[in-house]
Structure formats: structure tokens, C-alpha cells
Structure 1
Amino acid sequence: MIICHDRRLIFLKGRKVGGTALEIALSTVCGPRDVITPLTPEDEALRRDVGGQGPCHHDRVRWPGTLWPRRVAFRNHSTAAQVRAQVPEAIWTGYRKIAITRDPFDVAISRYHWRRSRGTFPDDMDFGGFVAARRHRLDANSRIAPHRGPDKVDLHLRYSSLLQDLRDNDLSDIVEIVARIRPKSGLRPREARVAEVYRAYPEALEIVAEACASEIAAFGYLRPA
């Protein structure tokens, strides 16, 4: 999660949407007065390699135009509501709020393989069991970066066309870095294609479709064939 004052930009980072690459790239145009949340040690090494500004002011910050610092609690995946509650209203309303949107059916698969790589659930839990156990968390990205309501994001960049969307929205100077780095790559097997996975786990398809119905409709995502 990033607040960049020079760009007047707030980046809200969803889960398993490819946000780390964008976050690292954005940090190369940030400075020591901006808000930048910490990454994993491996991703911080990537950030240093490309010359990005490291973590700063995620727990204590002095906002522009104020005299004294104040305590804050910004996290990697802070929701829009959590961020809005901690920033001056002039920043929230005056800065462009951006996020990445990715097909929820695809996100669920990526979250499964990420969690599996971290050993956070039993080895014998399959994708269907994972989705069923986490049905109430599947719409997390709609809370992090809402597409409607009082805390809605101004711009959702599509994961499927991220580089072009960056070019089309005055962020072309970070495209090369986003294209070059691949944090967390290799965790998901090549055979874990969306259609094949949901053919094997049709109940999981229905759970994701119900839990993420608003997001699916808002961005025109299709049910896997």
C-alpha cells in the first residue's frame, strides 16, 4: 500500500492480483515523505534492486501542512475504509485512488497455491475444500478496493491488461519495471488453468460466483466454461 504525495496517488493492494510488482515499481517514483508499507524480505530485495524507496511512515507520519506526526497503522492490504479513516479528508478526496482488479475465479486459484506454498493449511486439503473453508473471505478484494460505495476506488487497472492500462493512465514511466519483475512467480503450477480447475471442482465455482457476484458483474468477468 502506498500514498505518493508528488503523484497525488493512493495505491490499495488487493490479494493475489499482481500488486507487488506494481507496488515495487511505484516505490521508484516515491520519496522519504511518502507512505510505503513493508514487503517480505525477498520482495524488499527486489525493491532495492530497482532503486525503490523502502518502507516508511506506515506507523507514524506527519501529513503535509501539519506540524506534528501522528500514529497510524497502514498495512500491506489495508482496506479503503481503513486508509480513509487515517488520512486527512483532503488527501482522500484529492488524491487518485488506484488498485488492480483480477478475475475472482483466477484469484481463488492463486490464493490456494500461495497458501499451500506457505504451509498454512493441511497438505491433504484440495482446492474445493480451501474455497469452502474460506467462502466468507473470497470477496476480500472488494473490501480492499471497492468498486462502489463511499470508499470506492477511482481507477481499477485490469490484471489482464495491466501494462496497457498503466500507459493509458499516466503511469507509463513505471511500465518497464512492472514488466521486468516477477515476485512470487512459480508458485502456481502451469496445469492450474482456470477452466480445468473448476471443471474438477464445480462446487467451488458456485461458491466463488456467489461470494464475488458484485465484483464479477461490475467488471464483466465470465464464469469458466
Structure 2
Amino acid sequence: MIISHRYRFIFVRTRKVASSSLEVCLSGLLTPDDFATPQTERDQGMKAGESTVKPRIFHGFTRHGLPLFISGHAPLTKAYQLFGSRIADYRVIAAERDPWDRAVSVFYWSHRKTDMKSRPLTEQIVAFREFVQRTGAPRSLLQRMGLGSHRFVSQRALYSIGRVSMVDSLLRFECLDQDLATLSVDLGLDKPLSVKGISAKVGFRAKGQEDLRVFHDDATRAFVAAECKWEIDHYGYDFITRGLPHYSPDPARHAAKADYISRFGRR
């Protein structure tokens, strides 16, 4: 997560949507007074002197006396707990991706330290289908508390309060350059943002294995559809047509945000 006070935005890092590359890109806008969680790829991607933000995880205590830890993939609500009304009107930026495609990407990322992508394709497919059913959604109490959430096919909880999305600017994985160009105008930047030339956390997926129909059977397709029903309904993702998603900010986000900050934000 990064927060720019100068440009008044909050970037929430959802998983497997080029978020590391996006954070490297957006970090060029940071000043020493801004906020950033630790992120190795961002720090490595920055040139010396580009930003003097000093990331840290522990940020004292919440309004109710609990320790406040904010990691790279922390939910937006953590930012509101820390800064309260100071950032209530900041633009919320997040990225999304076709959930069936994300499931495949998560599978390969989770097996990046194994020989998975060099195994016969039939073995990869069997392993993928078992993996999705076993880890793709919170089942146990610990999982519902966030354990293993990097494997969940839905990432909506990171940028929502309850069932209301807080996102003002959605970066669609399928057309990042187009959406970054729009965001650049919205932020009043002189030059358009771009992730071209930035390749953080890439190369883990087996080459030539982009056809989702090869990986998904009826069971995994239905599983992802059930877990990501909100995303499919709101963004228009479709397993067959694979058309570009669409997005409109939720009008209820302002009231939901104000209510949350009034109850949990630091004063």
C-alpha cells in the first residue's frame, strides 16, 4: 500500500494484478512525507534519490488500543484506522483481473519454488484444479481471519468496507496502459504513468499456458464464479467471451467510508 498526500491517493495492493510493477510506477510520485509499506520490488525498482519514504509495518496502536500492523497487501481499512479523516477524500486506486485468470496465476506463483511449470501439462492441470478447490476461498476460522489470503481467488475484501467497494479508480489488468493514462489525467500529472519496462514478479507462469479452458473444468469454473460473484456482476467478467471489464464507482462508498472512519479512525 502507498499513500500520496501530495496527489491525494491511496493505492491498495491486490494480488496477481501486476501490483508490484504498479507500485514501482506510482512510487515515483512519493515524497518523504508520504506513506509506503515495505515492498522489495518497489525499493529495488526505484533509482537512488527518487524517494526517501521509509517503510515500516508497525504503526502504533488503533483507536481502541490494539496493535496496528500494515503490510504490503493490507486492506484499505488499515489506512483509515491509521490516518482517519485526514485521508477521507483521497482517491482510492486498486487493480483487478479476470478471476479465472487470476486463479491460474496464483497457482503458479504459489508453486514458484517447485518444478511445477516444467512438469507435463496434464500433471499441472490436475494439481491446479485440486489447488483451487483447496485454497481458493476462506474456510477455516484462521483463513477467515486472513491466513492464506494470498491464495484466495477474490481480492475484493482488500478495497471494500463490508459489501461496498471504495474504489474510485480501477486499473484493469487487461488494459493497464489505458487506465494508467486516464489516472494520470485525473491526478493532474505532466507525464502519463506506465508500467512498460517494469517487470516485478514475472516469469512464474508456464509459457504457452494462457488458455483458461485448458486449466478449468466445470467444477473450478463454477467454484471461481461462486467466490467471485460480486466481481463478475460488477465488472462483467465472462469466462467465454473474455471481454474487457467495466467499472462504475459505488455511490454508497462515501457514506460507508464516513461511518467506518467515525468508528475506527484515529482522532
Show the counterpart of 2:196: 179
The one-letter code matched in structure 1 to 2:46 is R
TM-score by length of 1: 0.81
* Cα contact 1:27–1:53 (8 A) shared by 2: no
- The answer to whether structure 1 residue 207 and structure 2 residue 223 are counterparts is yes
Q: Distance between the aligned counterparts of 2:79 and 2:33, measured in 1?
A: 17
Give aligned-pair identity as a percent.
28
Show the counterpart of 1:65: none
Q: Distance between the aligned counterparts of 1:85 and 1:194, measured in 2?
A: 41
- CA RMSD between the two structures: 2.7
TM-superposition CA deviations, 1:85-143 (whole Å, max 9, x none): 2222231x210010011111111111000000045x9x977100110111314344110
Size of the aligned set, in residue pairs, is: 210
The one-letter code matched in structure 2 to 1:47 is M
1:99 is aligned, of 94, 107, 117, to 94
The one-letter code matched in structure 2 to 1:8 is R
The one-letter code matched in structure 2 to 1:208 is V
- Give, in angstroms, the shift of residue 59 of structure 1: 3.1
1:197 is aligned, of 188, 204, 214, to 214
Gaps of 5+ in 2: 61-66, 139-151, 242-267
Show the counterpart of 1:18: 18
Show the counterpart of 2:234: 218
- Give, in angstroms, the shift of residue 58 of structure 1: 4.5
- The answer to whether structure 1 residue 89 and structure 2 residue 57 are counterparts is no
- Give, in angstroms, the shift of residue 77 of structure 1: 0.6
Show the counterpart of 1:162: 176
Alignment CA distance shift 1:109-1:126 (3 Å): same
* Cα contact 1:12–1:77 (8 A) shared by 2: yes
Deviating beyond 6 angstroms after TM superposition, the runs of 4 or more aligned structure 1 residues are none
TM-score by length of 2: 0.69
Alignment CA distance shift 1:53-1:186 (3 Å): farther
- The answer to whether structure 1 residue 56 and structure 2 residue 58 are counterparts is no
Alignment CA distance shift 1:134-1:5 (3 Å): same
Q: Distance between the aligned counterparts of 1:9 and 1:140, measured in 2?
A: 23
Show the counterpart of 1:29: 29
Q: Distance between the aligned counterparts of 1:102 and 1:205, measured in 2?
A: 15
- Give, in angstroms, the shift of residue 80 of structure 1: 1.9
1:143 is aligned, of 135, 146, 157, to 157
The one-letter code matched in structure 2 to 1:75 is S
Show the counterpart of 1:66: none
- The answer to whether structure 1 residue 129 and structure 2 residue 145 are counterparts is no
* Cα contact 1:2–1:12 (8 A) shared by 2: yes
